Amino acid sequence: MIFEVVQGVIVAIVVLTALLMALNKYVPASKRLQGALADKLLTPGRSAPARWLGKKLHGQLSAAGGCGSDDGCGSCKGCAPSKPTHSGPEIFRTKV
């Protein structure tokens, strides 16, 4: 009896995780929802597990890149401009 309940909970967690990953990949609006949920979970006065989950969700958004991330991509012209990897003129040399 108890093993069936534990098995059901584990399967539900796996299915929910797969669903969230698919939504993040195929539905860009889900990133906005994920960001809003992360912000709500990171508000002061929340429990430690809620803050932990908020940090995880926020970290996934930052690591994802693209529009709305904090990496300064500049791909959609809405983020900060991307930073050059080096300064100075580029010098191309050919082998002789």
- 62 residue type, one letter: S
Euclidean distance between CA atoms 49 and 55, whole angstroms:
10
Convert the pLDDT of each residue in 74-86 to its tens digit: 455 455 555 555 6
Please report the pLDDT score of residue 87 as a whole number.
67
In sequence order, what are the residues at sequence separation of 6 or more whose Cβ sits closer than 8 angstroms to the Cβ of residue 23?
A: 30
Whether pTM > 0.85 for this model: the answer is: no
Domain that holds residue 9: 1-96
State residue 56's pLDDT score. Answer: 86
pLDDT tens, position by position, 27-68: 777 778 888 888 898 888 999 988 888 888 887 666 555 554
Tally of structural domains, the chain: 1
Sign of CA dihedral 78, 84, 88, 92: negative
In degrees, rounded to 5, the angle at the alpha carbon of residue 57 between the alpha carbons of residues 82 and 69 is 15
Which pLDDT value is given to residue 93? 80
Give yes or no for residue 13 having a pLDDT over 80.
yes
Token representation of residue 59 = 């970290």
